């Protein structure tokens, strides 16, 4: 199993590049299930969750080709023949977002059989809202032996009001509704930029969607969708991780190929912390020469402060002067990184959904365990400023969503290396 070894103390200097958004790439790949034509996606990040999605589609009979060399961020998908519209537990258990295939499969094939995702380290994470929405669209749903089976000759447009805002739920039903008979109006939708990116692709494929990125999305169903070419938006969570790294290490870092308009909530909080930043259309420069001040954050749906940046922000808070209160509103069990940060010397008390961080405390290197994707990113950030050599175990969590994290940080001056056998796994042919 791979480990990251990080020696802290170096300010990050220079330019670091942001990859395409994993959370936009996943639904866009699933969207290719809606057509028998070829879908070409550019700016796909090379991360493990994308590889899992490739396997998921390949198991159904799709041809998914990942680019090599200069085209390494291109993925070409052809779902002409879908022999088995099924997603097995083996794949779904490693990536909850696999449920994104449910809506497109039932819309295109008239039936789908997808494993329930089961428990997850960061909370229960049910998919009841996906199921309810598909029922509203006329699908018959049966849950049996840990699988959801959905069937419908053709889905029918309907009004769907989400009881709770769900990102992949919005995306799943948006895809399903594109091929439904008649108009669908979805209320209380997720407004994340990744939803809007998916709608952009679907409209290029011939869908008729209005309002993606707002709480109300209207979809006029069409009988057929076609091939398209689309470039995925930049990963705002990876960009945020780099910006926090620049601030935390007292560096001068230019975070390139991002979209600063997706980062407003973070930038506002960084300003409150005393971090200096400047932005252009596609980059953020962060200058970490001021002492950091404590500030409170509350995670919310977009455009609020993202839960996916909470762990990384906590690492920053350990180095800020004063008390920061971090409230996690989206997931009920998303403070696993706090324990590991405490082992490195942080002063953090958990009170239900709130973490109280008292800073500034010096951090010292320790052997720590990555528990989920964003938690591992916060440990990398803490290690970058810790005294000594931190060893982060279970790096596969970070590989799910960060492309070549050690190469990118090394390029801007971090002392970071990987030990283990990552390469054969990442490029393994098995599907
Ligand atoms: C997506 C992101 C993930 C991010 C999360 C919240 C992807 C692939 N993943 O996850 O990185 O952390 O949004 O921004 O885009 N819920 C229900 N019933 C449902 C669905 C969700 O109760 O059917 C609850 C969840 O348990 C959670 C909340 O709604 O408490 C939000 O979850 P949701 O937005 O669905 O998260 P994901 O789409 O899984």
pLDDT tens, residue by residue, 356-396: 999 999 999 999 988 889 999 999 999 999 999 999 998 98
Which residues are near ligand 1 (CB < 6 Å)? 23, 26, 96-97, 123-130, 164, 166-169, 194, 307-308, 330-331
Cα(261)–Cα(47) distance, integer angstroms: 24
| Atom from ligand 1 closest to the CA of residue 166 | 34
- The residue contributing the CA closest to ligand 1 atom 1 is 167
Choose the residue to mutate in 169, 328, 335 for probing ligand 1, maximizing ligand atoms within 8 Å of C-beta.
Answer: 169
Q: Where are the alpha helices (DSSP H) in 261-335?
A: 264-272, 310-317
Ligand 1 centroid–CA 79 distance in Å is 27
What ligand 1 atom has the least distance to the C-alpha of 129? 23
Instruction: Give per-residue pLDDT as tens, 153-183.
Output: 999 999 999 999 999 999 999 999 999 999 9
How far is Cα 430 from Cα 362, in angstroms, rounded to an integer?
45
Structure tokens at 44: 């796909």
Q: Grade residue 421 by pLDDT with cuts at 50, 70 and 90.
A: low
pLDDT band at 429 (very low <50, low <70, confident <90, very high): very low
Instruction: Write down the pLDDT at residue 418.
Output: 95
428 pLDDT exceeds 70? Answer: no
Q: Measured in angstroms, how far is the CA atom of residue 70 from the centroid of ligand 1? A: 34
Active site residues: 120
Helices 22-31, 48-59: inter-axial angle, 10-degree rounding: 10
Mean pLDDT of the residues in the chain: 93
**Residue closest by Cα to atom 25 of ligand 1:** 125
Structure tokens at 377: 């990113």
- pLDDT, tens only, 301-333: 999 999 999 999 999 999 999 999 999 999 988
Mutate to test the pocket of ligand 1, among 26, 45, 118, 167 (most ligand atoms within 8 A of CB): 167
The pair of structure tokens assigned to 326 is: 């971090």
Structural tokens at position 295: 């500030």
pLDDT of residue 121: 53
Three-class secondary structure of residue 159 per DSSP: strand
Residue 170 Cα to ligand 1 middle (Å): 10
DSSP-derived letter for residue 401 is T
DSSP H/E element including 247: helix 236-248
**Mutation pick for ligand 1 pocket among 330, 332, 333 (CB with most ligand atoms within 8 Å):** 330
Instruction: Give distance in angstroms: CA of 168 to centre of ligand 1.
Output: 6
For residues 246 and 203, give the distance between their C-alpha atoms in angstroms, rounded to a whole number.
37
d(Cα 214, Cα 255) in Å, to the nearest integer? 28
User: From residue 162, how far is each of 5, 107, 167, 168, 408 by CA, in Å?
Assistant: 44, 20, 11, 12, 39
- Ligand 1 atom closest to 123 (CA): 26
User: Edge-to-edge strand order for the sheet containing 297-298?
Assistant: 297-298, 322-327, 354-359, 347-351
Segment 112-154, tens digit of pLDDT = 999 988 644 555 568 999 999 999 999 999 998 889 999 999 9
Structure-model confidence comparison of residues 103 and 289, the more confident one: 103
**% of the chain surpassing 70 pLDDT:** 96
Question: And the tokens for 221?
Answer: 């169903």
Residue nearest to atom 5 of ligand 1 (CA): 167
């Amino acid at each position: 199993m791979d480990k990251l070894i990080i020696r802290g103390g170096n300010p990050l200097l220079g330019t670091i590049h942001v990859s395409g958004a994993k959370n936009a790439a996943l639904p866009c790949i699933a969207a290719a299930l809606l057509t028998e034509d070829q879908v070409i996606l550019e700016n796909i990040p090379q991360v493990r969750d994308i590889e899992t999605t490739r396997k998921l589609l390949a198991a159904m009979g799709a041809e998914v080709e990942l680019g090599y060399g200069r085209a390494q961020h291109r993925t070409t998908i052809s779902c002409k023949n879908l022999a088995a519209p099924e997603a097995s537990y083996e794949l779904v258990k490693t990536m909850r977002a696999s449920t994104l295939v449910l809506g497109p499969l039932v819309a295109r094939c008239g039936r789908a059989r997808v494993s329930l995702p089961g428990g997850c380290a960061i909370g229960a994470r049910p998919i009841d809202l996906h199921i309810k929405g598909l029922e509203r669209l006329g699908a018959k749903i049966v849950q049996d032996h840990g699988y959801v089976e959905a069937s419908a000759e053709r889905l029918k447009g309907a009004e769907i009001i989400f009881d709770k805002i769900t990102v992949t739920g919005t995306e799943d039903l948006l895809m399903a509704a594109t091929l439904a008979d008649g108009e669908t109006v979805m209320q209380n939708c997720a407004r994340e930029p990744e939803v809007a990116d998916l709608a952009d692709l679907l409209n290029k494929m011939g869908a008729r969607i209005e309002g993606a990125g707002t709480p109300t999305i209207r979809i006029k169903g069409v009988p057929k969708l076609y091939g398209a070419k689309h470039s995925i938006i930049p990963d705002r969570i990876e960009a945020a991780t780099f910006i926090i790294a620049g601030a935390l290490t007292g560096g001068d870092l230019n975070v390139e190929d991002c979209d600063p308009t997706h980062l407003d909530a973070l930038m506002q909080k960084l300003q409150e912390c005393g971090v200096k930043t400047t932005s252009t259309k596609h980059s953020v420069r962060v200058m970490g020469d001021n002492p950091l001040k404590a500030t409170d954050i509350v995670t919310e749906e977009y455009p609020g402060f993202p839960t996916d940046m909470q762990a990384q922000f906590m690492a920053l808070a350990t180095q800020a002067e004063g008390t920061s209160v971090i409230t996690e509103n989206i997931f009920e069990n998303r403070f696993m990184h706090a324990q590991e940060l405490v082992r490195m010397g942080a002063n953090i008390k958990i009170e239900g959904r709130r973490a109280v961080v008292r800073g500034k405390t010096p951090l010292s290197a320790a052997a720590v365990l990555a528990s989920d994707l964003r938690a591992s990113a916060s440990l990398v950030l803490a290690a970058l400023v810790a005294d000594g050599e931190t060893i982060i175990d279970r790096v596969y969590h970070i590989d799910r969503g960060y492309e070549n994290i050690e190469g990118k940080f090394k390029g801007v001056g971090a002392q970071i290396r990987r030990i283990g056998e990552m390469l054969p796994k990442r490029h393994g042919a098995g599907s």
